[in-house]
Chain A
Amino acid sequence: MPVLWRRLLVFTLSLTPFALLVYRTATQQLGADPAKTIVLFTGEWTIYFLFTTLSVSPLVKLAKWRWLMVHRRMLGLFALFYALCHVAAYLTFILGLDLSRFFSEMVKRPYITAGMPAVLILIALGVTSTKGMMRRLGKNWVKLHRLVYLALALGWVHVLWQVRSSYFEAVIYGLITLTLLGMRIYWFCKRRSAHSKA
């Protein structure tokens, strides 16, 4: 399949959850507390897209799916897209755009404090995701974009901190996060020992 078609397919698939959400909102299928449903839904998809984006390089390395590499940026940008929807939905639908409440909530609910820097990181990475920015930042681009690991870890803390009755989601997310980050640490150590031997 030509790259352009594949891009179109990835784009459409990535936008499907959003389209589904819009449809359910329009047809009033979100239940008694539509605000909370939207905030949860967009938050979950942010995490899913972070998982997907961070699975690209392991899949390229281990399964030799080199064709996947060209789609990584779009997947990452969709993580940012759902994160921005998540924040926007929280501010409009839950807080009613009352910014003074936003600051008191941030203090009151530590999991929001954990989530905020994660979103800021994603914004920074999104802004610097263009080819021009890659060129301009050179080696620093890779260093900067390693912050995505921190964003994922913070996202997981954000979920863990809200656990009330079941650890199921938090445990599953934690296992995936540890696997994805663990692989990086393993490769990093291997590279270093290879360097020191040489």
Chain B
Amino acid sequence: MLIKSSSDIKESEITPESVYRDRRRFMGLALGAGALAAAPVAVAKPGFVTDSPVRQGPEWLSRRIAEAKASPDPVADELTPYEHVTSYNNFYEFGYDKSDPAKHSGSLKPHPWSVEIAGHAEKTGSVNLEDLLAKVTLQERVYRLRCVEAWSMVIPWVGFELGELLKQFKPTSRAKYVAFTTLMDKEQMPEQASRFSTIDWPYREGLRMDEAMHPLTILAVGLYGKVLPNQNGAPLRLVVPWKYGFKSIKSIVKIEFTEKEPATSWNVRAPNEYGFYANVNPNVDHPRWSQATERRLPSGLFSPNIIDTQMFNGYGDEVAQLYRGMDLRKQF
């Protein structure tokens, strides 16, 4: 008698993508119907282009992402189509045009990947991505992304709460901030070798501890139910939906608990234009343009999709209390 071991699964027995997507949609519909909600539950739509420049991640990661729980709260905003989310990017390590990251990020090798944990915590050291993801719950989160350049998208991320991860390293009482660093490698990220760049590589970002521990703050490993494409910050990126997009640092190799406010790339580059907090705020303009409105992408030619920008990108109910007593005009 042949006894099949658990690892001995035939390829044909693995649930095909179309089936799990249908199942997920069905479950979404059932949930929606159960809640008697008129609006459909916003789960990633199955109808994306299959020949888009997505690069296959390792099997274990695809499986984890496929198993992620659907977004708990329906978002009224319409999702930005997959092909736009993955072809219109600011990732200056691969070029300065919005289409450059999709074209040139093939040189990035996101697997295998490890992240260094450093600073004021009981557990520090290097963790590989698989171990790091083993102890967290992956879920889908549909978030608005507001770029400081006054355009925005709506993206179904797959990720986990940053706080859930940070707690595991047992940060000490001296940990007041969390600093993040992107990979520094001129071979994999060719623009880091450019003499004309205004940014001092590697890219750095940071959050105050309470911002980092906020349940809305996630680290993403996928989008639209797929492994995160290189141009979107593979294999691990931050997503802080109430802050301008540049805070959501990509391809993270280091997480450090610090006592002082860490230096962040855009703030160092132009402190009068980009603050450390960088909360989405329609009342504080960028010195060179207005932040009162945004163009939601994709934007049509004869009907520019211009909408009013919301305070904290519409997440004020959840996050406004973090900034009570602060003058957001000064600490922008």
Instruction: Determine whether B332 belongs to the interface, using a CB cutoff of 8 Å to chain A.
Output: no
Interface 9-mer from A27-35, A48-56, A80-88, A145-153: A27-35
The answer to whether B98 touches A95 (Cβ under 8 A) is no
Closest to B270 in A: A164
From residue B312, how far is it (CB to closest CB) to chain A in Å? 22
Which of the residues B88, B92, B302 comes within 8 Å of A32, measured between beta carbons?
A: B88
Q: How far is the CA of A164 from the CA of B286 in the complex (A)?
A: 12
The answer to whether A164 touches B289 (Cβ under 8 A) is no
The answer to whether A165 touches B198 (Cβ under 8 A) is yes
Most buried by A among B80, B153, B304, B306: B304
Q: How many A-B residue pairs have CB under 8 A?
A: 77
Closest to B85 in A: A32
Interface residues on B, range: 20 to 34
Closest to A108 in B: B290
The answer to whether A32 touches B299 (Cβ under 8 A) is yes
Which of the residues A32, A108, A110 comes within 8 Å of B285, measured between beta carbons?
A: A108
- Which residues in chain B, 107-125, are within 8 Å of chain A measured between CB atoms? none
From residue B263, how far is it (CB to closest CB) to chain A in Å? 17
Contact with B along A166-177 (1 / 0, CB 8 A): 111001000000
From residue B230, how far is it (CB to closest CB) to chain A in Å? 18
The answer to whether A96 touches B303 (Cβ under 8 A) is yes
- Which residues in chain A, 16-36, are within 8 Å of chain B measured between CB atoms? 25, 31-35
Instruction: Determine whether B160 belongs to the interface, using a CB cutoff of 8 Å to chain A.
Output: no
The answer to whether A35 touches B288 (Cβ under 8 A) is no
Residues of A within 8 Å of B289, CB to CB, are: 105, 108-109
Which of the residues B198, B295, B298 comes within 8 Å of A167, measured between beta carbons?
A: B198
Residues of B within 8 Å of A38, CB to CB, are: 301
The answer to whether A166 touches B198 (Cβ under 8 A) is yes
If the complex has contacts A32-B84, A93-B302, are A165 and B288 also in contact, measured as CB distance less than 8 A?
no
Closest to B285 in A: A108
Instruction: Determine whether B143 belongs to the interface, using a CB cutoff of 8 Å to chain A.
Output: no
The answer to whether B198 touches A164 (Cβ under 8 A) is yes
The answer to whether A105 touches B297 (Cβ under 8 A) is no
Q: How far is the CA of A102 from the CA of B194 in the complex (A)?
A: 36
Closest to A110 in B: B288
Contact with B along A98-119 (1 / 0, CB 8 A): 0000001100111100000000
Residues of B within 8 Å of A11, CB to CB, are: none
Instruction: Determine whether B99 belongs to the interface, using a CB cutoff of 8 Å to chain A.
Output: yes
The answer to whether A168 touches B196 (Cβ under 8 A) is yes
Instruction: Determine whether A92 belongs to the interface, using a CB cutoff of 8 Å to chain B.
Output: yes
Residues of A within 8 Å of B197, CB to CB, are: 165-167
The answer to whether A167 touches B196 (Cβ under 8 A) is yes
From residue A50, how far is it (CB to closest CB) to chain B in Å? 22
Contact with B along A159-198 (1 / 0, CB 8 A): 0011111111001000000000000000000000000000
The answer to whether B290 touches A33 (Cβ under 8 A) is no
From residue B51, how far is it (CB to closest CB) to chain A in Å? 15
Q: How far is the CA of A164 from the CA of B298 in the complex (A)?
A: 22
Q: How far is the CA of A35 from the CA of B304 in the complex (A)?
A: 8
Q: How far is the CA of A96 from the CA of B293 in the complex (A)?
A: 13
The answer to whether B304 touches A168 (Cβ under 8 A) is no
Instruction: Determine whether A74 belongs to the interface, using a CB cutoff of 8 Å to chain B.
Output: no
Instruction: Determine whether A157 belongs to the interface, using a CB cutoff of 8 Å to chain B.
Output: no
From residue B299, how far is it (CB to closest CB) to chain A in Å? 6
Q: How far is the CA of A161 from the CA of B197 in the complex (A)?
A: 15
Q: How far is the CA of A165 from the CA of B194 in the complex (A)?
A: 11
The answer to whether B299 touches A34 (Cβ under 8 A) is yes
The answer to whether B88 touches A25 (Cβ under 8 A) is no
Closest to B297 in A: A32
Residues of A within 8 Å of B298, CB to CB, are: 32-34
The answer to whether A93 touches B304 (Cβ under 8 A) is yes
Q: How far is the CA of A34 from the CA of B298 in the complex (A)?
A: 8
Residues of A within 8 Å of B303, CB to CB, are: 96
Closest to A30 in B: B301
From residue A106, how far is it (CB to closest CB) to chain B in Å? 11
Q: How far is the CA of A35 from the CA of B305 in the complex (A)?
A: 10
From residue B122, how far is it (CB to closest CB) to chain A in Å? 38
| 5 A-B residue pairings within 8 Å (CB atoms) | A93-B304, A108-B289, A164-B198, A166-B196, A168-B96
Q: List residues of B whose CB falls within 8 A of some A CB.
A: 80, 84, 87-88, 90, 92, 96, 98-99, 149, 151, 153, 191, 194, 196-199, 285, 288-290, 295, 297-304, 306
Q: Which 10 A-B pairs have the closest CB atoms?
A: A32-B84, A168-B196, A32-B88, A32-B297, A167-B196, A166-B96, A32-B298, A96-B304, A165-B92, A108-B290
